[in-house]
A and B are shown apart, each in its own frame.
Chain A
Amino acid sequence: MDNSLLNSLSTELRRGTLTLAVLSQLQTPQYGYSLVQLLESSGISIEQSTLYPLLRRLEKQELVTSSWDTTENRPRKYYVLSDYGTEIFEKLKEEWEKTSRELYTLLKGAETDESD
């Protein structure tokens, strides 16, 4: 079995879901590393070199807002969903649920076909 092909296919599969995963965790303010930890605790591993640029892109698209917190011993940049971001997140979530239901039915169907 060609492992690099499998890897690239599953990376491709996951890539689209990253934005959704990140948005879901930004309902409360998070800074970069806390977000990484949150995602990892749910089993989602994300390349850090992907995550930080993604956060800035989301900010540019006005889905999240950011602010620097300088009260702690080191300054941290916190990101949180904007109103627009919340709206988009809800819609994306619905879209994902719909897709996964559909895919589930498809895959389930494939399984019964095999057992026939």
Chain B
Amino acid sequence: MARIWVYAEMTAGGVVEKTALEILTKARTLDGDVEAVALGPGATAAAAILGEHGAKTVYASDDPVYGEYVAWPASHALHELTKEHQPNLILFPSTYESRDVAARLAARTGSTIMSNATDLLGASSAQTAIFGGSLLVDVTLEGPDPKIVLVRPKSFDAEPSGGSAQVVPVEVAIPDAVKRSKRVERIVAESSGPKLEEAPVVVAGGRGLGNRDNWKLVEELAGAIGNAAVGATRAVVDAEWVPYALQIGQTGKTVKPRVYLAVGISGATQHIVGMKSSDRIIAINKDAEAPIFQLSDLGIVGDALKIVPALVQEVKSRKA
């Protein structure tokens, strides 16, 4: 039977990155023994939640070295563990941290590395979505084990199954030679309102808003709705209207709110992959041919600069 590992990235706060729990939930339905590797402060304690989500064994180390230096110590430890336990497949969350860990590991093992998986089909097969999610591609992974796959956030719902995991302490020595990319400081951006990835409503703006001054319309609408987060397209971020932390899409965040309201967004592939799984999608755009309308439950072809102020009033009156 295949041995399937999930890299349970530990966040700065000492908890498991949520995507790892999503991946475990799916991995436990595959034909294989599912185990997790957690490296960094909080790892041993995290074995409980990893077990609940399907890991039978958790290889854990609470050594702070994994947080103090980016990627290299973790990929080094994973490589040593891989030689000892010989997993067939290692699944990583598609995050800034895990992407570097997975890549360095793949370069060491010479294994295939697949990014942006949106579904898992077996120990050597995964699915990805291309062209804004309009096509699904089944990929067969070849070459030496472990196959390495990065899975996009929110590809699955995380659900506990009530299991528990055996903890195996990781005792890999980390040589100084891999302690070279030093994390000096962590800065958390100030933000108000709900987190973009967790908000029940996301109001997102694109270049169709015309200029930076009109961005306040998006914020006013989110404020009027309440419990809504503000997001943006890459074009708007590149134009420096808003910080990168608001970017939704391929290179930004993946969101899955109950309602996604796209204002002046045409629906470029790069954006769609980050929001297409939203429960309901509303779009406002001048161009009736904009691809965003193909995904929309409700689409209004018109001028966002007129519709949004009116919508703010409509929302306020319905909430009153």
Instruction: Judge: A and B partners, yes or no.
Output: no
Task: Tell me the A residues contacting B by CB distance below 8 Å.
Answer: none
Task: Tell me the B residues contacting A by CB distance below 8 Å.
Answer: none
